[in-house]
Amino acid sequence: MAVRRLGQILIDLGFIDEHQLEVVLEEQRQQPGEQLGKIAEEMGLITDEQLAQALAEQFNLQVVHLADAPLRPEVLDLVTEAMAQLYRVIPVHFEDNVLTVATAHPENLTVADELRTFLGYDIRMVVATDREIQQCLDRFYDSEAQSVESVIREIEEDEDLKKQIEALTAEGPIDLTSAEALADSAPVRKLLNMVLLLAIKDHASDIHFEPFEEEFRIRIKADGVLYEMVPPPRHLAFAITTRIKVMANLDIAERRLPQDGRIELSVGGHPVDLRVSVLPTLFGESVVMRVLDRSVVSLDLTKVGMDDQTLKAFREVISKPNGIVLVTGPTGSGKTTTLYSALSELNRIEDKLITTEDPVEYDIDGIVQIPIDPEIGNTFAH
């Protein structure tokens, strides 16, 4: 069954007439990609409640008034702050493994699928006004945090920043001074810092910045699942990538070769390391950040998930005076945590431990850790 057009629904509900719809459509043609309902609301032709009612009618969903809904803490806790902010959703009810979630954007059909995949519950969507969604985000998740969406909206309205980026991304050599100034600009710093903060709060293992021909995608990997953040404007790809390269002490003039670096942050008073990998692609540089949050990692063999028999056998192996232990597994499976936990267990005052690492991901007092640096000839072989 085809989805009815929102404009016709607004007419059928008596919110606007055909002439007003033509005016809105003409304005939409001047703003490619902007949603019709949002334009009609901004023009004062409909209220946010009327828009919510029309969207609910369009997608055959129920309207919920969040101010009257009994939002229980145990239900709100089912969706993390980062996910609520990124998807702009509010969990309102949970029963029989079905989580009812309020959204102001039911046209974003991937949200329910991604929540279902990430949370493991059946998802039932209902519609609320964007104003109510924002009020609940401020009240229940982080009253001081500004949403990624609102930061992106500010950046989209910054014409000076857009012109600055266009001048730098034009054909020809890069003005390094201008590129560094762009990377250090307040809007770019603000957006990137918010992305990093939300990812770290959500215990993400990886952050992906991916440029494509028509869009710039940011995805976060948490608990082995990738989910997409609100996409920033495509023209921000160069600025954000340059900012990351500056933070990681990489060569911002080099855009043809892969580069690897490292960023050290302090979040909430505890250190967080970010491993940065930059790769040139068809539409710009792609960046992957590996998040190493020391505050959430316990270097304790009893907490890495081994059963008693496996743990006993592993301890016997690492206690031997010679030999080799080969630890394998996919990304995020716990290889690094297992190895560092083993080192922590062997770290005794009567023994001297020396490691060669590429790179050193966790500093352990009492162990001599040697970082590998092929650029100066310091390799595993030499």
User: d(Cα 225, Cα 206) in Å, to the nearest integer?
Assistant: 10
The domain segmentation of the chain, as residue ranges, is 6-58, 73-141, 148-296, 301-376
pLDDT at 128 over 90: yes
pLDDT at 14 over 90: yes
User: Which stretches of the chain are assigned E, i.e. beta strand?
Assistant: 89-95, 98-103, 122-127, 206-211, 216-222, 225-228, 259-267, 270-281, 284-293, 353-357, 367-371
CATH code given to domain 73-141: 3.30.300.160
Q: Which residue has the higher pLDDT, 98 or 174?
A: 98
Q: Which residue has the higher pLDDT, 270 or 110?
A: 110
> What is the structure's pLDDT at 140?
82
> What is the structure's pLDDT at 145?
46
Percent of the residues in the chain that have a pLDDT greater than 90, as a whole number: 32
Return the CATH class of domain 148-296: alpha beta
- Helices 148-156, 186-201: axis angle to 10 degrees equals 160
pLDDT at 280 over 80: yes
Partners of residue 279 on adjacent β-strands: 286
Q: Which of 87, 79, 88, 94 is nearest to 202 (CA)?
A: 79
SS3 content of the chain, % helix, strand, coil (to 5): 40, 20, 35
> At 175, phi and psi to the nearest 5?
-80, 105
Partners of residue 273 on adjacent β-strands: 264, 292
> What is the structure's pLDDT at 129?
94
**Average pLDDT of the residues of the chain:** 83
pLDDT in tens, 134-151: 888 888 876 444 566 666
pLDDT at 295 over 70: no
Highest mean pLDDT range out of 137-141, 146-150, 193-197, 278-282? 278-282
Least confident of 3-12, 154-163, 370-379: 154-163
pLDDT at 29 over 80: no
pLDDT-derived band at 163, boundaries 50, 70, 90: low
Q: Give the predicted TM-score (pTM) of the model.
A: 0.52
Q: What is the average pLDDT across 199-204?
A: 81
pLDDT in tens, 330-344: 766 788 889 988 998
> At 321, phi and psi to the nearest 5?
-75, -20
- CB 200, CB 291: distance < 8 Å: yes
pLDDT in tens, 236-263: 888 899 999 998 999 988 888 999 998 8
Count of Cβ atoms closer than 10 Å to residue 244 Cβ: 25
